[in-house]
Amino acid sequence: MPDAQILVVDDEPDILSVLVYHLSREGYRVTTAVNGQGALTSAEAEQPDLIILDLMLPGMDGYEVLQRLRGAESTSSMPVILLTARREEDERVRGFEVGADDYITKPFSARELTLRVEALLRRSKAEPVSTSRRVTVGPVVLDREAHRVFSEGVEVDLTRLEYRLLEVMLERRGRVQTRRQLLQAVWDTNAAIETRTVDMHVARLRTKLGNAASLLETVRGIGYRFRALDK
């Protein structure tokens, strides 16, 4: 975390200054933007290590900013924490679907802020999630070449969908995946499948993973997340 640069985007001066204050005190370099256009420009130009983005902005709202960030090559994998007053699940779901990495609801404590910032920075530094023929997360090993999976050293026998589901969850470890996202990633095209079916497969996968099942966490109201274990 030392010397990381953070872009804070918020149009309310009060909140902006609170954010800047806390983050600066923790030793981060902070830059700011007060609207969507400025956010995009700064993100592109300064390549910050993390962005904190308010959803409610004049003109272009947070979703659109996020969507555009994800669309551009140079910012597509930039860690983003969404900031919102709304507790609505729909909002959060939409946020994760558009590609948010984490979420903070107002009002928030300084401690919550820094914890989330640290966690996200650590995570994105840990692994430039890329595709290799073998993925290891804690006690879980997935070997793409052999198409085999081990949990705590023991081979586990997975069906095609279970394997695929695990593969996706491991690749996107640390990030919440909505049921819809999982459907899209695991079940090819927009299959006409109940989102509840995902739960079923998660359950089956968990029983087969044994003790490691606890790493596959439920995020109530949103979806699932495979815990990212930093080394």
Of 29 and 206, CB closest to DNA: 206
Of 57 and 81, CB closest to its own copies: 81
Residue 68 CB, nearest approach to DNA (Å):
21
Of 3 and 73, CB closest to its own copies: 73
Q: Cα–chain-centroid distance for residue 223?
A: 12
| Whether 78 contacts 46, CB under 8 Å | no
Binding mask 137-166 for its own copies (x = CB under 8 A): -------xxxx-----------xx------
The DSSP line for 155-192 is: EE---HHHHHHHHHHHHTTTS-EEHHHHHHHHSSTT--
Considering only residues 3, 13, 14, 133, which one is a binding residue for its own copies as defined by CB under 8 A? 133
Footprint on residues 189-218 left by its own copies (CB under 8 A): none
81 interacts with its own copies by CB under 8 A: no
Binder of residue 105, out of its own copies, DNA, none (CB less than 5 to 8 A by kind): its own copies
Q: Cα–chain-centroid distance for residue 57?
A: 22
Q: How far apart are CA 34 and CA 38, in angstroms?
A: 7
| Whether 3 contacts 23, CB under 8 Å | no
E-strand ranges in the chain read: 5-9, 29-33, 50-54, 80-84, 102-105, 134-137, 140-143, 148-151, 154-156, 177-178, 216-219, 223-226
193 interacts with DNA by CB under 7 A: yes
192 interacts with DNA by CB under 7 A: yes
| Whether 205 contacts 157, CB under 8 Å | no
89 interacts with its own copies by CB under 8 A: yes
**Would you tell me which residues interact with its own copies (CB under 8 A)?**
73, 76, 85, 87, 89, 92, 96, 101-105, 107-109, 112, 116, 128, 130-133, 144-147, 159-160, 168, 174-176, 185, 219-222, 225, 228
